[in-house]
Chains A and B, each alone.
Chain A
Amino acid sequence: MTTADTATGKERKRTPATPAMILGKTGWVIVQVFLWLFFISVVFPMFWTLLTSFKTSFELYNRPWGLPETPRWDNYVRAWAKMHVGTYLFNSLFVSAVSLFCIMGIGSMIAYALARYDFPGNRVIYFIFIAGMMIPGWLAFIPAWFLHRSIGTLGTHAGLIIQYTAVSLPFTVFFLQAFFKTLPKELEESAIIDGASLYMVFWRVMMPLAKSGMLTIAVFNFLGVWNEFMWALITISKDSLKTLPLGMSNLLEVGYYQTDWGAMFAGFIIMLVPTFIIYSIFQNRLTEGITVGALKG
């Protein structure tokens, strides 16, 4: 760079095309307006719901933008007591935790055996699992419903956990098998030479190495189970066993029926807290999992 001319002229040409240049000025303004409007459409409803959860019904109708005069914590108390939010929360936590434990345990063992051991049938088993990713879930709903009825798990948490585990395995195996293949083999081999058993190698050598991949797929599976609606809807009828998505779908009805808006908003906020926490911690893991699942699968 000797002169100002080369610095401004040639260098600018090398920068990748900016959208402003592709779209033109008017287009650029339209896009900017759209970006901000969409941003508001995501943030504002959440913010408004949070604010309203601290208001009385009178304030909801008459001071829609104002802050509540005094924060109405009793909305939360009523939501917890009357709308069974606590029960739903506990049920969801229990079902999700146990399902996640089963999915990760079983899934990682299968993926490890498939990735690291060559044996007749390896490809076939892998293919059988991968095929499950292409089959739509509702194809299995009716027969699975009858299957669970005949073994006595219909309408129970066990029924949810078994089904969630079964349908989450394909993607988990697919993701972890690919992940295990990227890990170096040397450590395992030296551990075996040092006399470690094959199980020890899996637990002590492989698992610590696989932490990152395990975490990504765990976050992914957790949210999948946490938000699952269809299967819970058609199997769970007892209110005391319902999970959060079912509770959510009841929320409107309860709110309208009792016209207790404050409690309805508060209940909604309580139900969203776990999702919000998970998202703020694991946001990057989640987008990574989705990218792998959609583009490489």
Chain B
Amino acid sequence: MLEREKWKLIVPFILPGLLIYLVFALYPSARGIYVSFFNWSGLTRNMQYVGLANFAKLWKELTDPKDFYNLRIYLSHNLFLFCWALLTIFLGLVVAAIINNKPVGYNVFRVTYFFPNVLALPAIAVLWSMTLNPSFGIVNMTLKAIGLEKLALPWMSLQYDFPLFKLGLYTVGWIGLWGGLGWYMILFLASIQNIPIELVEAATIDGASKAKVFWSITIPLIWETVRTVIVFAVIGSLSGFALNFVLFERQAVKHADLILSYYYWQAFSNNKWGYASAIVVGIFIVTLTASIFSYRFFGRETVQY
């Protein structure tokens, strides 16, 4: 093939897409990092370079318990959702291990459990708002009808006290579990099915018990997947926004706001674009550190037989 003819395909095939990607995805990301060093109210064209002041302010809000915006409280909500995500991962692994043995109705479970993942977050929020509605939601109606009136709680309430957080935030955690379980299940299922059957057979012939096979062969071989999904859980629980945004639109949000809700408010209501950018850069740094940390320190434990 002639060299010149080759370029006639390469250039028109790559260039348009590369330009769109560079201009609308990569440049704004880089610019986002850039503006986090500026004081910028957006509407005026003056950007004032402030160095690391935005990050210093972020740090101060995070560490100062008396701070007005309670960024610490928002972060604790993110952490709480991260704990729910860990529980979801654990349950996803258990379900995958069971479904892998193809029990009766296994395909129905698989397809049903994954279904919430194709719903838009606002759809999930609306579905659960209706189901858990205190006056007509089917959950409380059923609880009342079978005499469990005490359990018919105001599930969406951000006033109702529960250990550590308001009940509404527990509901967010549950909805996250409901939506995420199928996703983790699919990932674990794929990686369990990648384990060569000969390994299991060989170990069994050598006299290993079934439990030992699971703990000594299955778990180490899917360890890489476990590591990956934990990084996903970190990213996921830090980037929560839409669910809370739709669920609690009509309530005082102090008890449910997440870091990104704060970002949203700073950017689109308060017009502190530079500071808002610093918040997402901060989140980016944390998630990047989490991924690097996970690969650097847990990477060596990955087993390859």
A interface, CB within 8 angstroms of B? 13-14, 16-19, 21-22, 31, 34-35, 38-39, 41-46, 48-49, 52, 60-61, 64-65, 106-107, 109-110, 112-114, 117, 119, 125, 128-129, 131-132, 134-136, 138-144, 146-147, 162-163, 165-167, 169-170, 173, 192, 198-199, 202, 223, 226-230, 233-234, 244-246, 248-249, 251-253, 256, 261, 264-265, 268, 271-272, 275, 278-279, 283, 286-287, 290-291, 294-295
Residues of A within 8 A of B213 (CB): 16-17
Residues of B within 8 A of A49 (CB): 127, 130-131
CB–CB A229/B14 < 8 A: no
Those 9 A-B pairs whose CB atoms lie nearest each other, nearest first: A17-B210, A166-B24, A140-B28, A227-B120, A248-B122, A143-B31, A143-B28, A106-B17, A109-B13
Bound form: Cα–Cα A159–B14 in Å: 22
Name the one of A38, A46, A139, A202 contacting B280, with C-beta atoms under 8 angstroms: A139
Residue of B nearest to A43 (CB): B112
Q: Does B138 contact A (CB under 8 A)?
A: yes
Q: Does B44 contact A (CB under 8 A)?
A: no
Q: Does B281 contact A (CB under 8 A)?
A: yes
Nearest CB of A to B58, in Å:
15
CB under 8 Å from chain A, chain B span 190-224: 190-191, 197, 200-201, 204-205, 209-211, 213-214, 218
Beyond A64-B136, A136-B283, A139-B281, whether A249 also contacts B9 by CB under 8 A is: no
**Chain B, interface SS category:** helix
B interface, CB within 8 angstroms of A? 1, 5-10, 12-14, 16-18, 20-29, 31-33, 35, 42, 91, 94-95, 97-98, 101, 108-109, 111-123, 125-131, 135-136, 138, 141-142, 145, 178, 181, 183, 186-187, 190-191, 197, 200-201, 204-205, 209-211, 213-214, 218, 225, 228-229, 232, 235, 239, 241-242, 245-246, 249-250, 260, 263, 267-268, 273, 276-277, 280-281, 283-284, 287-288, 291
CB–CB A169/B17 < 8 A: yes
Extra contacts, 7 of them, besides A142-B35, A286-B114 (Cβ < 8 A), are: A46-B127, A139-B29, A142-B28, A142-B267, A167-B24, A233-B245, A245-B121
Beyond A138-B280, A144-B24, A287-B186, whether A109 also contacts B32 by CB under 8 A is: no
Bound form: Cα–Cα A114–B116 in Å: 35
CB–CB A295/B190 < 8 A: yes
Residues of A within 8 A of B12 (CB): 109
Nearest CB of B to A145, in Å:
8
CB–CB B197/A64 < 8 A: no
Name the one of A202, A228, A230 contacting B241, with C-beta atoms under 8 angstroms: A230
Beyond A117-B10, A166-B21, A279-B115, whether A248 also contacts B120 by CB under 8 A is: yes
Residues of B within 8 A of A129 (CB): 21
Bound form: Cα–Cα A272–B127 in Å: 11
Residue of A nearest to B274 (CB): A142
Nearest CB of B to A66, in Å:
12
Bound form: Cα–Cα A52–B130 in Å: 10
Residues of A within 8 A of B109 (CB): 35, 39
